[in-house]
Chain A
């Protein structure tokens, strides 16, 4: 699925990623943990193609296709999704309209036909029900006035609607109380399985009690310094990052 080899990148001329190697197979859930400033969010922005995050070496492929030369929207259409740590407000743009525009833009880029309004609404209704999202939320403008929990649930709804192959969750647990965390984790677990992999970026082990990863990595100083099973996360919770980082 996602193969990253010796990836280096800089922001404002400062090298942040120092040769990241990571392979995530189809259907796997990987977690990346690490101290503040390790380059966790940078890695997610580099993969999604954000302006100002410059790749200086290495490769990243999704199902064998090089994604680093693509525009951000092309990466999205190729199946890469980034759930934001701070989902962005877009005043005046209704959620439903936003989801439809996004889905159809991706479909168009993949050479698929655009979904008609009725088919789209049917799909939305199904996903909404699965995730327990109220109609009212979808009538509001994108993320405007959403609580922290609503914003993150909205990100999960977008994964459900856009059906990416590879979803990166950037600090999805930040700002969530335990109930909201459970709901979000439940949504993600529902979508685990063949055809979809996850990369969960988190500072704390707490989220990994609910989204149990297949592999845990520790990112420090822009490199993966240690990998292991879900047990590794629990150890780190006790010992901290001092030993590994």
Chain B
């Protein structure tokens, strides 16, 4: 029996039992639908304590009453929340590399994804290919020596309940928005990081873990805490194209930086964007927020968004501590029929807080991309500063780019700057590059990478190289 028919069989069986299924803790997949029983099932699967289940149930009760956010410039048919599975144990789908789609392998080649990671990314059973567990364990041991906790959120719920209780939902409350609310009710897994006082995390977290990370499913939940004077750089996602049958992804990421702490969070998102006709693709509805709780703390978001049919995402900073700083560096590329509505919120509460926003939007094909940002200066934010720069680049004449900046200032001493440009790749630029030997596609990739440079250079080195190649791949077929 193949894995798929096995799953189908289990689903059929579970459906047959209806109400009774929750006791069947051995099954690997929950039946379709969303109700209280399903949430109890997920919680039971994870052996969660009562307080975690309560958190989920409270979120679910609220979710039922909550409307979907309507303000983004995106269009999709209504989502049938009852037509999805909310729990499925991650499983490798393929038995060997021979079964992998050759097109996917070709992309790995172009991206330069390390050989040992390819099988895992393609969904081949990992343990038969290489021993990732031992690699991960070694690094975790090294981190534990300096007191860093780095584990799955499920493990953290069990082993560090005091930290999870204290911080989960403290930055993104369960009732924040419909998508975050859903995540709070049904989150499957994700990462937990705690950096103790004065510790500088000696490595980029998750560089070595990206394979394990992909198994966290569609409702990912990440919680990162940097205690006083701590530093951590965290990488999320992966340049390799990721396919998933789950259409909707609703992740929540919360960051907390105490006095003098710094968190750098980098994302490369390349979920399946749908085909050239706009069929299929992931809806990526993500709530990411960082709290600069302490004085002189700093949170920096860097994102390269190339995938998903729809991206709805606003990594934000709440600048509560005096002299705290928030940064947002973004590249969003849409091609074919993709839609992206992404940007940030910088909420200035503390005195002399500073924020910087650099957003680069590239639209090609028939896609539509919006930068949406809010800079809010509260009354107490004496001497706050913000600099915002939004640049849009259009490729072809059938795409759209929009910039929607909101500014609210309640303190007259605040200084805010906003710059925005919209441009096209000029024929002169293309011809100049072609005359020097570049093909039209190479020329576009070079020009677009130049356009994104300010953002790309904030990415950790090895990530940046792959991200640059990803830019060219995402724009393939956009010219000529």
Contacts and interface: CB of A to CB of B under 8 A. Distances in A.
27 contacts: A48-B431, A50-B431, A51-B427, A71-B439, A73-B437, A73-B439, A75-B435, A76-B436, A76-B437, A77-B437, A88-B429, A88-B431, A90-B429, A90-B433, A92-B452, A92-B453, A92-B454, A93-B446, A93-B447, A93-B450, A98-B436, A98-B446, A101-B438, A103-B437, A105-B442, A106-B436, A142-B450
Interface in A106-125: 106, 109
B370 interface: no
Interface in B437-468: 437-440, 442, 446-447, 449-454
A148 interface: no
Contacts of A51: 427, 431
A142 B433 CA distance: 11
B447 A72 contact: no
Interface string B65-91: 000000000000000000000000000
B436 A102 contact: yes
Nearest to B456: A92
Contacts, number: 78
Nearest to A107: B437
Contacts of A91: 450-451
B428 A73 contact: no
B437 to A, nearest CB: 4
B431 A72 contact: yes
A73 B433 CA distance: 8
Contacts of B453: 92-93
- Contact count band on A: 20 to 34
B434 interface: yes
A141 B450 contact: yes
B432 interface: yes
B437 A87 contact: no
A98 to B, nearest CB: 7
A22 B447 CA distance: 35
A242 to B, nearest CB: 33
A162 B450 contact: no
Interface string A72-90: 1101110001101001111
A158 interface: yes
A81 B438 CA distance: 13
Given A90-B446, A91-B450, A93-B449, A162 B431 contact: no
Interface of A: 48-51, 71-73, 75-77, 81-82, 84, 87-93, 98, 101-103, 105-106, 109, 141-142, 158, 162
A102 B432 contact: no
Nearest to A81: B435
B450 A73 contact: no
> Dominant SS at the B interface?
helix
Contact of B434 (A76, A141, A142): A76
A79 B446 CA distance: 22
B437 A162 contact: yes
Nearest to B431: A50
B434 A73 contact: yes
A147 B46 CA distance: 65
Given A93-B447, A93-B449, A102 B428 contact: no
Interface string B397-437: 00000000000000000000000000000111101111111
Contact of A87 (B432, B434, B446, B451): B432
Nearest to A101: B446
A73 B432 contact: no
A92 B449 contact: yes
B149 to A, nearest CB: 39
A109 B437 CA distance: 9
Contact of B450 (A72, A81, A90, A109): A90
Given A51-B427, A141-B450, A82 B437 contact: no
A76 B437 CA distance: 5
A50 B425 CA distance: 16
A222 to B, nearest CB: 22
Contact of A72 (B434, B446, B454): B434
A51 B449 CA distance: 23
Closest 8 CB pairs of A and B: A92-B450, A93-B450, A92-B453, A106-B437, A102-B436, A72-B434, A88-B432, A76-B437
Nearest to B452: A92
B426 to A, nearest CB: 8
A168 B452 CA distance: 32
Q: Which of B431, B435, B440, B449 has the most CB of A within 10 A?
A: B435
Given A90-B429, A101-B442, A48 B435 contact: yes
A190 to B, nearest CB: 20
Q: Which of A77, A92, A141 has the most CB of B within 10 A?
A: A92
B432 A90 contact: yes
B240 to A, nearest CB: 24
Q: Which of A48, A81, A105 has the most CB of B within 10 A?
A: A105
Given A90-B450, A92-B449, A93-B450, A162 B436 contact: yes
A57 to B, nearest CB: 23
B451 A92 contact: yes
Nearest to A45: B431
A45 B53 CA distance: 70
Nearest to B443: A73
A109 B439 CA distance: 10
Contacts of B452: 92
Contacts of B434: 49, 71-73, 76
Given A92-B453, A141-B450, A105 B431 contact: no
Contacts of B429: 88-90
B451 A73 contact: no
